[in-house]
Amino acid sequence: MKSLPAPARRTRPLRRSDIPAAGPARRASGTGAVLSAILDHGPVARSTVARVTGLSPASVTGHVGHLVSRGLVRESEETTGPRGLGRPHIPVEIDTGRFLVAGAHIAVAHSTVSLMDLRGRVVAEDRRPHRSTEPRSILADLAARLPRLTAAHADGRTVLALGVATGHRVDSAAGVVVEHPHLGWRSVPVREILTDATGLPVHVDSHSRALARAEQMFGEVSTRASTVLLFIGAVVDAAFATSGELHRGPRSGAGSVAHLPLGPGGSGDAEPCSCGRTGCLQSEVSERAMIRRAAEQGLYVESFGELLDHAMADEPRAVALFRRRARLVGRAAALLLDMFDPECLVVVEPGAGRLPQCLADLRAEVAERSGVCDDPERAVVPSSFTGSVLATAGGAVALGALYTDPLGPWPALPAVS
């Protein structure tokens, strides 16, 4: 593996002028549209694929032929019309028996390596705490864990690519983590390092954009047109999509909502945010803030997961903390709904996903504060991947690239016939 200089410690807030411009976005090819339609509807007839994609039957037949030859799609048993009438047709469906993708999510305190099949189902995952926050240490550890996970769980399937997701600013075109203040990372060439270490094609993106793409591919149907995804964890950020396309911004800075001011009603005793102010979304609702508030109430926990376990067990102080968090997240959600007017806002936050009263509180706050959202029950939804968010994020980066360009340079796939 190539040596990597020690990460530069942040001495001032990163400014837009510091961030290199991202490359142009790529739209899904015709073959990608066909593959996505088969994912949605399979097993499905080619004629149905033509109807839902708007492509000609001849074009669909050609695209399906390429996908079959690459091992991404397989033909199912013949079917006919009612009582055996009509011309038989051979449906096609995603082939999950030959290939997998690998995923890696880099959190503040730990990293998760996962395997995912081509329908977005997590096959296996391995989460471990960081031994160091230096980029070379974390990335080398990820690369070393992947072969062991593959040997134990791939069942003979070939790994096509590795997707990497993390918080804060990520330039997906360059494969670089631009800045991750919690880890002390800046301008880390993740794609280059992990490609050298694993020999796999590597795709890198922010975890919020990865999870928004996962919702579009495998989760909440209402996210297909336009969506905002709000990620609340150790890192707080967001993703925005319109007309099915994720917005990254010219310097991959879209989604930086950590310092969104919550306005009157936030706590006056909050510790200052990293920006020096108080009342920022991140300083009020992050995992660190939750653990600190629990200690102030005499509920001492070693991790956020332990605090969540207390809430799941109906410990009153823990439940109250999560309900307070839900109301503050609802305040931020109302602002984002009014700013972007999306079809759907997805909240990635374990309280909203696992505690019904938290989701109800969050939606009630949206109903009270939003001037645009008139149906929070429909428009505000929890993550489709509660319980497997981190394992899903990395794999979704790789699968998103595959579904966008299935005929692209995927070394493990057969050549297009």
Q: What is the pLDDT of residues 122-132, one digit of tens each?
A: 999 999 999 99
- Tell me what the mean pLDDT of segment 105-130 comes to: 98
Q: How far is CA 293 from CA 135, 260, 285, in A?
A: 30, 20, 10
Angle at 191 between CA 31 and CA 233, to 5 degrees: 95
DSSP helix/strand/coil, 365: helix
The pLDDT value given to residue 145: 98
Confidence of residue 11 (pLDDT cuts 50, 70, 90): very low
Cβ 9 vs Cβ 239: under 8 Å: no
pLDDT in tens, 174-191: 999 999 999 999 999 999
- Can you tell me the distance from the alpha carbon of 41 to that of 52, in angstroms, rounded to the nearest whole number? 10
> What tokens were used for 356?
């019904």
Starting at the earlier edge strand, list the strands of the sheet with 344-348. Answer: 245-247, 236-242, 226-232, 344-348, 380-382
Lowest-confidence segment of 232-241, 268-277, 313-322 by average pLDDT: 268-277
> What tokens were used for 394?
């990395």
Please report, rounded to a whole number, the percentage of residues in the chain having pLDDT higher than 90.
Answer: 81
pLDDT exceeds 90 at position 278: no
- Can you tell me the distance from the alpha carbon of 404 to that of 401, in angstroms, rounded to the nearest whole number? 5
On average, the pLDDT of the chain sits at: 90
Angle at 382 between CA 381 and CA 384, to 5 degrees: 110
- Tell me what the mean pLDDT of segment 3-30 comes to: 43
pLDDT exceeds 80 at position 106: yes
- Can you tell me the distance from the alpha carbon of 411 to that of 200, in angstroms, rounded to the nearest whole number? 8
- Can you tell me the distance from the alpha carbon of 399 to that of 217, in angstroms, rounded to the nearest whole number? 9
The pLDDT value given to residue 281: 95
pTM confidence score? 0.89
